[in-house]
Amino acid sequence: MARKYQPVFLNYGFTLNIDKHNVHRPQCLICLDVLANESLRPQKLKRHLEKKHGDHVNKSREFFLRKEREMNNSKSVMSSAVFPSKGLTKASYLVAEKIAKEKKPYTIAEQPSLPCAKAMCREVLGETAASKISTKFRFLPTRFADR
């Protein structure tokens, strides 16, 4: 039988982590270890806190609430960094396509390329940014024709 997380477990430095099978698992707010569902017992959570994080035993609930907020904030920052927008992904494919059409994959990527920069700006930021790129960076050698 699967155990359920209780809010009192925050006093021992643990928050709720739900896995892909919808099973509640405790996650330590200090070392970020995710324990088995069988560890959802106050004495096991307290033992983890005492053995691994002895200097945090007498910390208040507010301390662990702050740690939980920090962990949730870092998760949101990481997810935004790990999962880029569709526009950025498409822009990288546009650049890869231009490099592939040139048939020199190792040498062409090292040279600055105005059309690639314009394609990326057009996809991510819009047509205004692409037009600004072409007016500001006329000195860059263009190797590709706009296709």
- Classify residue 75: in a domain, yes or no: yes
**How far apart, in whole angstroms, are the C-alpha atoms of residue 58 and residue 85?**
43
When mean pLDDT is compared across 6-10, 17-21, 45-49, 113-117, the lowest value belongs to 113-117
- Classify residue 76: in a domain, yes or no: yes
The C-alpha angle with vertex 13 and arms to 11 and 15, in degrees rounded to 5, equals 100
Q: Are residues 74 and 110 in the same domain?
A: no
Q: Span 41-68, mean pLDDT?
A: 93
pTM assigned to the model: 0.53
Among 82, 104, 121, identify where a domain stops.
82
In total, how many domains does the chain have?
2
Among 36, 63, 82, identify where a domain stops.
82
pLDDT in tens, 107-119: 665 555 667 777 8
Q: Are residues 105 and 118 in the same domain?
A: yes
Task: Give how far the C-alpha of residue 135 lies from the chain's centroid of Cα atoms, to the nearest Å.
Answer: 34
Q: Are residues 65 and 132 in the same domain?
A: no
Length of the chain: 147
- Arithmetic mean of pLDDT over the chain: 79
When mean pLDDT is compared across 2-11, 22-31, 39-48, 121-130, the lowest value belongs to 121-130
pLDDT in tens, 60-119: 999 999 999 998 888 776 666 556 567 777 877 887 787 777 776 656 655 556 677 778
Q: Counting runs of H as helices and runs of E as strands, what totals does the chain give?
A: 5, 2
Q: 3-class SS at 142? A: coil
Output the pLDDT for position 146.
47
Q: Are 27 and 39 in contact (CB under 8 A)?
A: no
Q: Are residues 103 and 73 in the same domain?
A: no
Residue 120 pLDDT more than 60?
yes
- Classify residue 143: in a domain, yes or no: no
Q: 3-class SS at 128? A: helix
Q: Are residues 12 and 75 in the same domain?
A: yes
Based on its alpha-carbon atoms, the radius of gyration of the chain, rounded to whole angstroms, reads 25
**How far apart, in whole angstroms, are the C-alpha atoms of residue 49 and residue 39?**
12
Q: Are residues 35 and 55 in the same domain?
A: yes
Q: Are residues 18 and 72 in the same domain?
A: yes
Instruction: Residue 53: give the domain boundaries.
Output: 7-82
